Structure 1
Amino acid sequence: MGRRGRAAVVVLGDFGRSPRMQYHALSLARQAFLEVDVIAYGGTDPHGAVLENQSIHLHKMRPIVLEGFPKLLHFFMLPFKALSQFFMLLWYLCIKITAPDVFIVQNPPSVPTLIAVNLASWWRKSTFVVDWHNFGYTLLGLSLGRSHLLVKTYHWLENHYGKKADGSLCVTKAMQHELAQNWGIKATVLYDQPPEFFHPASLQEKHALFCRLKEDLSHPCGIRDCVSFGRVSSAAIHGEEPYANSTLFTTQVDHDIFLKQDRPALIVSSTSWTRDEDFSMLLEAAVMYDRRASAVLNEDDSIEEELLWTDICNGKQYLYPRLLFVITGKGPEREKYEEKIKKLHLKRVAFRTMWLSAEDYPLLLGAADLGVCLHTSSSGLDLPMKVVDMFGCGLPVCAVSFSCIEELVKVEKNGLLFSSSSELADELLMLFKGFPDKSDALKSLRDGALETGSCARWASEWEQHAMPLIDEVISGSKK
């Protein structure tokens, strides 16, 4: 497929928080040799590889927000918002950018995106491909209920305009079957795969990352817990290592970097802080782990945190390690859960919430010991991309079980599944028993995750499945 001209990637959302569409843009530019116009909202910086590629041109729309209106009026303002978005999209798609050979549009959201792209493709004499990540009507149904008239109308519009596409991609075989059987849409499965910048982190990369995040991880303002007490090791206290070269997890002596034996286990969970991820399940599991790990230590409720700090300084080893959960992401329910976390007062578990750059996030995954995924899917037919990224970094996963998750997570090979907080707590206790040297079950899952992550990468998956479809629809439009 030689240089054919242009493609337009359409995202009615924050492009920096749409990794799959960023990867589409990179592949269109690098592998299909197209000039790529991205029409999306700004907000979060995309990966540096996107910003540095001179064939990718970002066109940032201004988000339409309903702030300032009473909540009771938000429902009545939704049609106005959709109409405003529709005309804004038409302006960019029909006038602002050069006419492309193909539009590639993320779904959801479906309304007004599919309607606008359908009209723009007719006006510009272009083709368009829908990349089905999920179904918009099922997401709307989380707040309104599936039987609501607005949800039914949304479903009809999503179906009607989805059928008008010249081609379709989707994320799972289960979704492919649903589209074929109940929507009359033939879709090609393009599995999410990690790009090349998701990989296991070296000791040098881990140490550099932990140095950058030292204060955020070890001693955030106003937080006193088992991790903030332990931000300096016993060796540092006794003058055997400079604090500047020591982090929670690593220490540097001359030019050599070591992982600390008394480090906490690092668990990462990325979330959009929305209703399709029940974060309370993770908090409840953390409380259960904390109680059971403390019981093994014969600690009672009156123990002082300073005693734990003394044990850490003296290098005392425990059967179950301290756990540090780092929760990354932005979303509407973040503050609510941060308040809940502050009230837990755990002895062996600590939480940190943060937003990382597109360059540091893969390094954090590559440096962690376990990933946790709380994604359940409004449709039950999509797969969490965060798990794909974790496998790309060789990070094993504990994931919430739902209908098609086993297309991705192979139980006892690269991860484990759970359906309740107690199951997750049991898995944490099993995986981290004897950490860091004697946690054989965790090491076995890490080997499986490394194997899974090395099997396929985004570029090869895209070239095998997406490129032929895009080539076909572009060629068909020129006949």
Structure 2
Amino acid sequence: MALCMRLQSVLLAVVSALLLLLLGPGCGLLPAVCGLAAWAWLRLRAPGAAGRRRVCVLVLGDVGRSPRMLNHSLSLARNGFWVTLLGYPGAKPHQDVLNNDKINIVYITEIMTGMKFGSKIFQYVVKIFVQTLQICYTLLKIDAPSYMFLQNPPGLPAIAVTWAVCLLRGSKFIIDWHNYGYTIMSLTHGDRHPVVQIAKWYEHFFGKLSDSNLCVTEAMKEDLRENWNIKSEFVPSDFERTAFTELNISTGNVTPIEGRPALLLSSTSWTEDEDFSILLKALEEYEGFITSGITLPSLVCAITGKGPLQDFYNRLINKMNFKYVRICTLWLEAEDYPVLLGSGDLGVCLHKSTSGLDLPMKVVDMFGCCLPVCAIDFQCLHELVKHEENGLIFKSSHDLAGQLKLLFTDFKNEKSTLGIFKRNLKESKMVQWDENWDGTVLPLLAASN
């Protein structure tokens, strides 16, 4: 608390100094008066008795495609908090969120996305500046919350701005670490690019200023502690089982073999951290198995999602000449997605963590629908996918093709390898979000009151 008050004093002094420089030395006490007036206004808007049950949840991304932050919002509301959920519009959030009287969604307009002039660095700087103003304006406009939850990444400029607003408004700042933003940037620019190095310093410096931290894996918890000197609490993502009914997917022009086609499912944001050429090459090899006389079912591969590389991969898919395999790309609302997963035979995950420390939510969703998974290998994947127990882990397209061959051989037989994986998922003790959240996050909120 003493540190917080010292930092508040520093901010007030900086504001006063800036006003003095702008207005000149002859203005007397005007800068100090203005600074103190602004300070008083903000403190009057700090959370009072009613505000102690008010929380802001911020994600600088598509609200509807941020399931973990939606789960935080639902858990907060279930425990009697009034939630303001801030983020960009896009996918429709789950109906449970829309119907909850304690959750108010406030959308932030996403601008600067089509700016064509200037260098990429200039465009990025302008975007950060505009986002800073947007976040400041939005966070200062809403009623002062007692806590602010922020999803990271993306954390630039959200971490620093949210911390500063929390400081001014007397709110507690909580970061939920999904990954490291600078590692995602390195996909485009490389590890040694100045922008990536600045982003790493920024994330490291401002990340330590939060009051509490949550994270998605045990590996990330350990990395935050050892390399960032940040204490965090591990909160597993939602594994709750989802009820579903069968969903019919058109087989299109796929040539049927005896019985129905197998249904292979994947979901993606069509970004650089997922290489779908691996899946396409594996499907080509699977087609080759059938044409060579190996007894396998025809295959329908449904890929859900939206993103920047979708058109690129759609062009590749359209050029492929399959007889026994059909690939379709589609977009589903939140309520329909688990229906599709529950109707599938096998899931494929191509998410390869930039930090090696996060887990793919798509696998969490698939396991929640008792759908076994083939997933590409990375550092902490074993926390989620147990090789030869609830799925298989692969390293190449050739590995994946071999796994598809293994799992789709006699795939409708409950005693097959795929059937055993499904039974293991049904019998496993799934992580319950509500129970874990109440035991981990709720005590953090109570302790900071």
Q: Which residue of 1 aligns with 2:410?
A: 434
In 2 relative to 1, CA 191–322 (structure 1 residues): closer, same or farther, beyond 3 Å? same
Q: Give me the whole-angstrom Cα distance separating, in 2, the residues matched to 1:360 and 1:439.
A: 29
What is the DSSP-based 3-state SS (H/G/I as helix, E as strand, rest coil) of the residue aligned with 1:110? Answer: coil
Q: Does 1:85 align with 2:114?
A: no
Given the alignment, which residue of 33, 52, 56 partners 2:80?
33
State the distance in 1 between where 2:413 and 2:259 align.
11
Match of 1:404 in 2: 380
Unpaired runs of 5+ in structure 1? Answer: 231-260, 298-318
Equivalent residue of 1:12, what SS?
strand
Q: Which residue identity does 2:158 align to in structure 1?
A: T
Does the C-alpha gap of structure 1 residues 68 and 124 become closer, same or farther in structure 2, counting only changes over 3 Å? closer
Does 1:265 find its partner at 2:262? yes
| Superposed CA RMSD | 1.7
Q: Which residue number corresponds to residue 65 of structure 1?
A: 112
2: distance between equivalents of 1:176 and 1:377? 15
Q: Does 1:466 align with 2:446?
A: no
Preserved CA contact (<8 Å) 2:51 2:144: no
Q: TM-score with structure 2 length normalisation?
A: 0.86
Residue of structure 2 equivalent to 1:225: 254
Equivalent residues, number? 400
Q: Retained in 2: the 8 A contact 1:94–1:123?
A: no
Q: Which aligned segments of 4 or more residues in structure 1 are displaced greater than 6 angstroms?
A: none
Q: Output one character per residue of 1:229-261: Cα deviation in whole Å (capped at 9) or x when no partner.
A: x9xxxxxxxxxxxxxxxxxxxxxxxxxxxxxx7
Distance in structure 1 (CA, Å) of the matches to 2:155 and 2:317: 35
1:172 is displaced (CA, Å) by 0.7
> How far did residue 347 of structure 1 move?
1.6
Aligned-pair identity (%): 42
Q: Secondary structure at the match of 1:104?
A: strand
Note if contact 1:365-1:390 (Cα within 8 Å) is conserved in structure 2. yes
Residue 15 of structure 1 is matched in structure 2 by: 63
CA contact under 8 A between 1:269 and 1:371: conserved in structure 2?
yes
Indicate yes or no: 2:395 matched with 1:349. Answer: no
Distance, in Å, in 2 between the alignment partners of 1:365 and 1:469 is 34
- Secondary structure (helix, strand or coil) at the match of 1:169 reads strand
Residue 448 of structure 1 is matched in structure 2 by 424
Shift of 1:348: 1.4
- Select which of 388, 399, 403 maps to 1:423: 399
Report the 3-state secondary structure (helix = DSSP H, G, I; strand = E; otherwise coil) of the residue aligned with 2:292: helix
C-alpha separation in 2, matches of 1:3 and 1:104: 15
Q: Distance in 2 between matches of 1:345 and 1:65?
A: 40
Gaps of 5+ in 2: 1-49
- Secondary structure of residue in 2 paired with 1:58: strand
- 2:357 is aligned, of 381, 396, 399, to 381
Quick one: distance in 1 between partners of 2:432 and 2:298?
A: 34
Shift of 1:3: 10
Q: CA deviation at 1:459?
A: 1.3
* Separation in structure 1 between the aligned mates of residue 327 and residue 283 of structure 2, nearest angstrom: 10
- Cα offset, 1:437, TM superposition: 3.2
TM-superposed CA distance for 1:439, in Å, is 6.4
TM-score (norm 1): 0.81
Which residue number in structure 1 is paired with residue 177 of structure 2? Answer: 132
Q: How many Å apart are 1:438 and its aligned residue?
A: 7.0
CA contact (8 A) 2:414 2:420 kept: no
Question: Of the candidates 146, 153, 156, which is equivalent to residue 191 of structure 2?
Answer: 146
* AA matched with 2:437: W
Asked if 1:107 is matched to 2:152, the reply is yes
Higher relative CO (Cα under 8 Å, sequence separation at least 6) belongs to: 1
- In structure 2, what residue type is equivalent to 1:143? T
The 8 Å contact of residues 239 and 430 in structure 2, kept in 1 or not, is answered as: no
